[in-house]
Amino acid sequence: MTIPKDIPDKWFPIVLPLQRKKQQGFDAAKAKKKGAEEERRVRANDREYNEKFQYASNCIMTSKYNIITFLPVNLFEQFQEVANTYFLFLLILQLIPQISSLSWFTTIVPLVLVLSITAVKDATDDYFRHKSDNQVNNRQSQVLIHGSLQKEKWMHVRVGDIIKLENNQFVAADLLLLSSSEPHGLCYIETAELDGETNMKVRQSVSVTSELGDPIHLATFNGEVVCEPPNNKLDRFCGTLYWKETKYSLSNQHVLLRGCVLRNTETCYGLVIFAGPDTKLMQNSGRTKFKRTSIDRLMNTLVLWIFGFLVCMGVILAVGTAVWEREVGSLFQSYLPWDLPVDNFLFSAFLSFWSYVIILNTVVPISLYVSVEVIRLGHSYFINWDRKMFCPQCNTAAEARTTTLNEELGQVEYIFSDKTGTLTQNIMSFNKCSINGHAYGEVMDPLGGKPKRLDFSPFNPLAHPDFCFYDESLLESVKVGDPHTHEFFRLLSLCHTVMSEEKSEGDLLYKAQSPDEGALVTAARNFGFVFRSRTPGTITVTELGRPVTYTLLAILDFNNIRKRMSVIVRNPEGRIRLYCKGADTLLFDRLHPCNQDLMNITSDHLNEYAADGLRTLALAYRDLSEEQWEEWSESHRCADRAADFREDRLAAAYEHVEQDMMLLGATAIEDKLQEGVPETIAILTLANIKIWVLTGDKQETAVNIGYSCKMLTDDMTEVFIISGHTVQSVRQELRRARERMISFSRSREGSKVGGAEGWGEACFLGNGFGPAGADGGVGEEKQQQHQSPAPPSPVPQAVASLMDNISGEFAIVINGHSLAHALEADMEGEFVSTACACRAVICCRVTPLQKAQVVEVIKNHKKAVTLAIGDGANDVSMIKSAHIGVGISGQEGIQAVLASDYSFSQFRFLQRLLLVHGRWSYLRMCRFLCYFFYKNFAFTMVHFWFGFFCGFSAQTVYDQYFITLYNIVYTSLPVLAMGIFDQDVPEQRSLEYPKLYEPGQLNLLFNKREFFICIAQGIYTSVVLFFVPYAVLSGATQDTGEPLADYQTFAVSTATALVIVVSVQISLDTGYWTVINHLLLWVSLGTYFSIMLAMHSQTLFTLFPNQFHFMGSAQSTLVQPVVWLTITLATVICIVPVLAFRFLKLDLKPQLSDTVRYTQLVSQKKRKLAGRVGGVRGAVGSVSEGGRLGARGGSRRSGYAFAHQEGFGELITSGKNMRLSSLALANFASRTSSSWIDSLRKKKHSHGNTPASVSGDSSPAASYVSGSAPPLSTSSSVLGGTQDTSIEEETHTPPGQPTQMNAVPSTHASPGSASAPTQAPCVDLITPSLGRGPGGESAGGWNLSLGNVQEALFGWRGVAARISGTSSPGPPSVTKETNHVV
């Protein structure tokens, strides 16, 4: 992938000096600020001279610690965390005996444990960094020292050394190329590690040093280089070489950068200019932004709130202390005097405040942070171990490169994707063509089978064995000698810049400068026109077995403004002909008028190819007389030698000769999509995730791929093209787009059902408006507000509100130069509001910096979680800017992977990463946090209540060892197991029902409201755990008649009840039980009783009488029946309200996951009865094609795409690259597609409920299409039944279930409206015989329509259940409907 240029070439003479001046001023200011060098001076073979500048060595150090600095630096970093500092402060307080009623080890043990675990993790990470650094630094390099080559480690290379490089070696430092074994001082490098581009690049030494090809001559070289200081500009180098009293200008073409690999060059020598951290590779590495999840940020806020709550409790108890000491405590002064520092009740209250801060500090347990890290680590391992995200072709598994962002994967709202190599395979194949008005390549087997692949070997022994083509008529046209077909392939074999290498007879390897050219030349090769070799002035081709050598007169190079390239050749007969290929939109304007009819036919073919998402080129030729050639050649030479505006003069010369051409035809190349891309995009769209494509490719290419992967469809209302070159024009285009959206939405919202045929269709397509009620066609919001049978008139709303509720069947395509204006501060808001109202956004010709800017704009304006995915080095800035960065380990190096948070090899794995791992991680973390805060408030608040009964003496309820071990031993393991293994629905259901992803986007499972609910439950539990044992035990007696009302008995009873209650609660919270969950729960309970009995034993009391005060308490307490009765009573009072609340919530307002779980249970039960496994299958009714919105059948869309770079033609004609070898062409893979993708409806944003069912004869968006569905008794249910199980059988409801299926608030729920009778006798809605009575109350069972179930689970409306053959997860296949909704 190439990084595009923002500025057209014709602007360079004006813009570049301004840019350089601005950049130089910026660099100077930056250097002055940092005190860095302003220029670099390097003298060859003179270490003493260079060392006085103290340049950096070539040693790379990415590690953070060493043996000496690890402990102090790591502790310093850890105590920068507020929580660690907080607990250190508490530890210091506990060392003050006047205020501490707890031993110091109750805090230091958890603190040391947390610090140790974190330190071990940091040490392990740094060890691997040291290992990687050592591996790189110890690589061997040949350095010229004292006239001879010596092997030196990379770390010992210094600035000014001369290094010898050999083929396939990595470049050790940034070098000035001095000489090479290739002619003209050329060498070839691969820069995939730097910029992601896999095509080779040519570098050339300065002519004066190119002859220094051996160590003897190089040892005498003492030239001095003066150049720019170290910077991160990969495409720029400015310097001067001074040697022999002459200076030579240096540019980027003379430099080899660290990270490059030498290719196809035997040896070369280079002078080290920048070493180690000064190299451009290291300057670009930078520091990765530290990313925190939204849950992390919320936790920080909640911890501050909890600390404030702790202070409030401390103040309340301190006030209580003051009152008690003044009113009651003074009566005890004679035999209970205050300690020496205390001389009044106020000072006693002050000390009591700090004492209670220490006792109540467990509301913010330090083990919380350790547990969170352990859970995240477990989730990361699940991603790494997922075999369904392993690519066998690449032998690459998914990798979680960070452990801190897993739950953020469940909250993504925006995905920013690169195109080439991310959505596509970056592998081109010749697919179709049009020659002289005849289309080739469209082959249909009358029997419906796969067409037979052509075998070219009998016809052409030089044919490429991997080339795939199926239309035999094109091969026959070549064989019969059709002149147009011959000229067509002759053009493809001559008009290119491909290099050829023939290692053995017939074994041709093409090295194409772009994959497009490789595909075209390979196609010509297979059809008999084989490009064999070239020299600076000739091209040799084998035409149908006959070798022909053409004289290459000129190459009219490609650039992004011309969008075409041409060659002028002379054939052996002496005839001169110009061959041209390029964009049809430009090339057609340069055709001879006699081509009008052929141009019209070819345009139709190009429209078809573009609609298929193919990359198209038009081909033409022109015959030149000898006089015309001589005249043009002279003008071309003058333009080429011009000192100023050379590019403009050359462009004018090219334009002059590329006129009055004759059209030959057009080609269609497929840049194959990766497997599963359309399906993945469709599923993610149903999950309310918006996908933006940010690509450096041309608009035509990006748009075509958008159609291929179904981001753009012909059913879209409108696709807006933003291409203005000025701020004002971009602003006008954006405003015009918004006006069109609002106008269209208002027209549909205000249309009457019978008056506008498109209204029902609009609702049916899901453009943000709900289905009509039984008697009218009003949308959801209007129906809820007015409940009128007829749609009301549209109510005027603010533009912002309208944009938020826009229909969404729009797309926007914006070019890079327009995007630069749209991202300006005063236009950001307009751009965001316009783009976010669209279903698809494609940004073309964008730079890496613009990609990052787009991500930042969405982060700032929408406050949504963003994910960026790419495969090249030009995607690194975007990946680092997004909340989550995903790298594709593809064809463009590993820079994207190294900068990413997660990596895998196929785009299709993204849906599993988000919908399965991300959703589960978010769910688990939320459940873990809710339970953790609950159990700690239940544990800590008992001390608060006890303070009112102990004279506010800061006495603890529990034994100090119980306080120490509660969070790290007794209750830690079960909640960890839940946080690591819990699931609400299986992974298959997560993929089948994308709407399950929405709770994470809306942050429904853990927010401030859920936090306060957990806190309230914890406080309620603490009240029960304190007052129930207090009330029961205060009057209870032992079997011997002795009272049980003593402190130690109360402490043991309360602690035991607490452990049992929180264990029962974790059992209720766990939704997915494994052996590990069972084992850890019972082990935790067993550990509690074992440790308590051991610590209360006489043995420990005898050994440590000052530490173990509860001697025999457990043994005497737990044998009392009244104690167990108290524990049981407290447990029941704590748990029964929770059970009642959850049953009511499940009955009255079930979540989507509850619905899916229930349907799964019903399905499993029916499968067991049937004795075989069934699938979740159905079919989606679609709108008839006759009334589709915004059809683009008559529109003109160019499919032009050509991934070529300018400047390569000049290199060919100079003869300087004739030694360039080629790479083997990759095998062409076939692309799969799914028919159901074309009719996927846009997910609608509903703020209310939808009717339970609607009338089929009056609703524009009924829950079925009348007369279009077969009987449901033979189809599989959307609820998960077998094919032989009817929906009525699968929806028998147990007693107590609700009468309607509700979803989470953010999704569509069904209110209790009655089901209207339908007019389709073959369609049975999901309505049990026990329906809703006249009063609206249910007589039993669920009253569901098929539309309700599908709407709740999938986010669809108007879908009819039918048999489907699709087996992939996701929506079923589409069946065309012939009925219109009326």
Catalytic residue numbers? 418
| Residues 442 and 471 sit within 8 Å (Cβ to Cβ) | yes
How far apart, in whole angstroms, are the C-alpha atoms of residue 337 and residue 324? 14
| CA-derived radius of gyration, the chain | 38
Chain center to CA of 123: 29
Q: If we measure between CA atoms, which residue out of 664, 484, 491 comes closest to residue 579?
A: 491
Q: Where are the beta strands (DSSP E) in 1186-1305?
A: none
How far apart, in whole angstroms, are the C-alpha atoms of residue 909 and residue 991? 12
Amino acid letter, 213: G
Q: Where are the alpha helices (DSSP H) in 495-643?
A: 515-526, 584-587, 596-611, 626-640
How far apart, in whole angstroms, are the C-alpha atoms of residue 50 and residue 84? 47
Helix (H) or strand (E) holding 1065: helix 1047-1069
Largest CA distance in the chain: 129
| Residues 443 and 721 sit within 8 Å (Cβ to Cβ) | no
Residue keyed to tokens 């040949």: 142
Please give the structure tokens belonging to residue 1131: 């447990």
Q: CB-based contacts of 936: which residues, under 8 Å, 6+ apart?
A: 362, 363, 364, 365, 967, 1018
Q: CB-based contacts of 1331: which residues, under 8 Å, 6+ apart?
A: 1315, 1339, 1343
The H helix count followed by the E strand count for the chain is: 45, 35
Backbone angles phi, psi at 498, to 5 degrees: -70, 145
- 10 Å CB burial of residue 164 (0-12, 13-18, 19+) is middle
Backbone angles phi, psi at 568, to 5 degrees: -115, 120
Helix (H) or strand (E) holding 1152: helix 1152-1170
How far apart, in whole angstroms, are the C-alpha atoms of residue 1151 and residue 320? 45
| Residues 658 and 592 sit within 8 Å (Cβ to Cβ) | no
How far apart, in whole angstroms, are the C-alpha atoms of residue 280 and residue 234? 6
| Residues 182 and 1219 sit within 8 Å (Cβ to Cβ) | yes
Q: If we measure between CA atoms, which residue out of 640, 674, 604 comes closest to residue 1214?
A: 640
Backbone angles phi, psi at 641, to 5 degrees: -95, 0
Q: Is the dihedral of CA 1093, 1096, 1102, 1104 positive or negative?
A: positive
Q: CB-based contacts of 206: which residues, under 8 Å, 6+ apart?
A: 178, 185, 241, 248, 250, 254
How far apart, in whole angstroms, are the C-alpha atoms of residue 1251 and residue 1253? 5
Exposure pattern of 1129-1163 as b/e (b: 16+ CB <10 Å)? bbbebbbeebeeeeeeebeeebbbbbbbbbbbebb
Residue 620 DSSP code = E
Q: If we measure between CA atoms, which residue out of 927, 1025, 905, 942 comes closest to residue 978?
A: 927
Please give the structure tokens belonging to residue 111: 């603190």
Q: Is the dihedral of CA 1166, 1170, 1175, 1179 positive or negative?
A: negative
SS3 1299: coil
